[in-house]
Amino acid sequence: MLDLTYETPKPKVIPGAKQDWELVIGLEVHAQVATNAKLFSGASTKFGAEPNSNVAFVDAGMPGMLPVINEACVAQAVRTGLGLKADINLYSAFDRKNYFYPDLPQGYQISQLYHPIVGEGEVLVDMAPGIARVVRIERIHLEQDAGKSIHDMDPTMSFVDLNRTGVALMEIVSRPDIRGPEEAAAYVSKLRQIMRYLGTCDGNMQNGNLRADVNVSICQPGAYERYQETQDFSHLGTRCEIKNMNSLRFIQQAIEVEAKRQIAIVEGGGEVVQETRLYDPDKGETRSMRSKEEAHDYRYFPDPDLLPLEIEQDWVDALKADLPELPDEKRLRFMEQFGLSEYDASVLTADFVNADYFERIVQELGYSANVDGETFETIPFKSAANYVVNVLFSYLKNDDIGIEKSPIAPWQLASILKLTDGGSISSKIAKDLFEIVYTEGGDPAQIVEARGMKQVTDLGPIEAALDEIIAANPAQVEKAKENPKLAGWFVGQVMKATGGKANPKAVNELVAKKLAG
C-alpha cells in the first residue's frame, strides 16, 4: 500500500488587526436523508412538487396523529456514521424541541438531544497534496426538517409550504477543530463527497438538501492548543452562529466577515455577545437574528409518542459489510493500482460518477488492473486519466454539463485509447478523433477507417517526404548535425507533410538515421 504522510495546515491569522488573532470554527451540517418517504410518515420527499402536496396528517400536526419511524432513515444515518468511522449507538431516543414558527405545525421538532444514534467519528479533510486536517465529529442525530416560509410572493402576506415538514435530516456536529474559512468549505465538501458515495444524501446545496450552521470565534495564538489540552471551551472565545449557509463560497465569505466583526469589537474594548446571525452576501455582512438559545430554552423532553430506538449489532454489521468503497480508499487505490498522480486520482474520485466513468474505461480497455511484472508505461491508465481530467472535463465544462450526460461514452474513449496505444493513429489524430466522436458520435474505429485517419507506418512515403525536406533545407541540416536537438524540426515538418498520420516513432528513427549519414 502507498504510505502517504500528511501535515497539519497552519491556522488562519486574520490580517488588518492590531494583533494576531486565530479562528476557531465548528459546524452543524444538516443533511437531508436520501429516502423516498419522510422520517415519521409515508409522505413523499420529492423536490419541486406543488406546494403542500407532500404532506401527511402527522406532518401537518393534526390531532391524534402518531409518528411511525421510517427504518430506511435509520439505516441511512447508521451508514453515514459508519462512513465517518463513528461509533454507532445501539440505543438512541427521540426528544421534543419546543418552539413556535409558522412552518412548524406541531409546535415542536422531534430530534435527538440526549441519546443520538451516532457518536464520535472523524473526517480527513484534504487541503492540498500532503496537507490535511482531521476534524472530529461529536455526534450525528436524526431530526425532522421544518417547512418553508415564503415572503416575496405578496407585499402584505407570507405563505407557508409544508412539503419539507417532517423530511428526515441528519445533523452532523463537528468539534471546534476547523481553523480557517478554506478548511470550513473543504470540510463541508468532504462530508458531501462521502455522503454522495454512500448514497445517504444527494448533497444538493441549491435545493437546501445540505446546509450548515457555522459557529465562529476568535482567540489569541496558543489558546486553541490550551483548549486541546484541557477541553475547556473558555479558551476559545465567545462564539456566534451563522445560520443556514447553503453555499461553500458564502460559508468562506461569512466566516471572514464575522471574524473581522468580532476582532473589531474586542480590539475596541467591547465583548462579543453569543447570538445567532444571518449572512447577507449582497451587503457582505452578518446581522443579528436572535440571542443564542441554549437547550433549556427549548424545553426538551423525551417524546412520549416514540419508544427508544434499539437496533441490533448484526444489523449494523450487515450495513457495514454493504458499504461502497469510499473516496479516500478509492483515491489511494487509483494511485497504487493504476500509477496515477495524487492530483489525477483526487480529481477522478472527487465524485463517484467521475470515478465510475474512469473505471468503466479501464474495463473497456481490457487490460488487467494487476500491474505486477509490468511497467505502468505499457498500460494506458495514465493516458485514460489524462483524457478524462484534461480533455473530457474541459469539453464538459464548456458545454456546462456533468459527466453523467457526457456525449462520449467510456467505451468510445477506450476505443480511442486502444487505437492510439496500438499505433493505428497518432496522438495528434487522436485529438481530432475525440472531437469528432464528442460532437458527432459513432464508433471511433469505423470513423478512422471511413475517413482515412489511419497512421502511416509504411516507411516509403515517410522517407520520400523526409528526403524532400532535407533537400530543400541544407542549412537546417547542417545546424541539426551540429546540434542534435534541432532534429525535432524535421520531425515536425514530416508530420505536417503527412497530415499528422506518420508514425512519430518511425519518423524520429528515420530522421536520426538520415542526419547521422
Q: What is the pLDDT of residues 303-346, one digit of tens each?
A: 999 999 999 999 999 999 999 999 999 999 999 989 899 899 99
- Amino acid 250: pLDDT: 96
- Give, in order, the Cα–Cα distances in Å from 117 to each of 49, 319, 509: 30, 15, 68
Residue 347 and residue 385: Cα distance in Å, rounded?
9
- Give, in order, the Cα–Cα distances in Å from 193 to each of 178, 300, 349, 357, 397: 18, 33, 9, 16, 20
H or E segment and range at residue 290: strand 285-291
- Amino acid 1: pLDDT: 43
Residue 370 CB neighbour total at 10 angstroms: 8
- Amino acid 517: pLDDT: 63
| Confidence bin at 379 (pLDDT 50/70/90) | low
- Amino acid 377: pLDDT: 45
Mean pLDDT of 391-412: 95
Q: Where does 303-368 show beta strands of DSSP type E? A: 309-310
- Amino acid 30: pLDDT: 98
- Domain borders along the chain are 27-216, 334-450, 459-516
Residue 483 and residue 374: Cα distance in Å, rounded?
35
Q: Where does 3-60 show beta strands of DSSP type E? A: 22-32
What order do you get walking across the sheet with 285-291 strand by strand?
Answer: 121-128, 131-144, 168-174, 22-32, 210-219, 240-245, 275-280, 285-291
| Confidence bin at 252 (pLDDT 50/70/90) | very high
Q: Which of 145, 150, 67, 136 is nearest to 111 (CA)?
A: 145
* pLDDT tens string 5-14: 667 777 777 7
Residue 28 and residue 299: Cα distance in Å, rounded?
20
- Classify the C-alpha dihedral 86-89-90-93 as positive or negative: negative
Mean pLDDT of 114-138: 93
Any idea which of 203-207, 258-262, 475-479 has the lowest mean pLDDT?
A: 475-479
DSSP state of 391: I
* pLDDT tens string 433-461: 999 999 999 999 999 989 888 776 656 77
Is residue 419 within 8 A of residue 448, CB to CB? The reply is yes
* Residue-wise DSSP of 72-104: HHHHHHHHHHHHTTPPBPSEE--EEEE---TT-
Whose grid coordinates read 421534543? 96
- Give, in order, the Cα–Cα distances in Å from 22 to each of 18, 19, 25, 28, 259: 13, 10, 10, 20, 9
- Classify the C-alpha dihedral 287-291-292-297 as positive or negative: negative
- Amino acid 9: pLDDT: 74
More confident residue, 189 or 227: 189
Percent of the chain scoring above 70 in pLDDT = 93
- Amino acid 479: pLDDT: 77
Average predicted confidence (pLDDT) for the chain: 89
- Amino acid 322: pLDDT: 97
- Amino acid 140: pLDDT: 98
Indicate the pTM of the whole model.
0.85
- Amino acid 372: pLDDT: 46
Rounded (10°) CA dihedral 343, 349, 354, 357: 100
* pLDDT tens string 141-183: 999 999 999 988 888 999 999 999 999 999 999 999 999 999 9
**CATH for 459-516, among 3.10.350, 1.10.10, 3.30.700, 3.40.1350?**
1.10.10
- Amino acid 378: pLDDT: 45
- Amino acid 308: pLDDT: 97
Mean pLDDT of 22-31: 96
- Amino acid 445: pLDDT: 93
Residue 14 and residue 1: Cα distance in Å, rounded?
39
- Amino acid 366: pLDDT: 74
Residue 2 has pLDDT above 70, yes or no: no
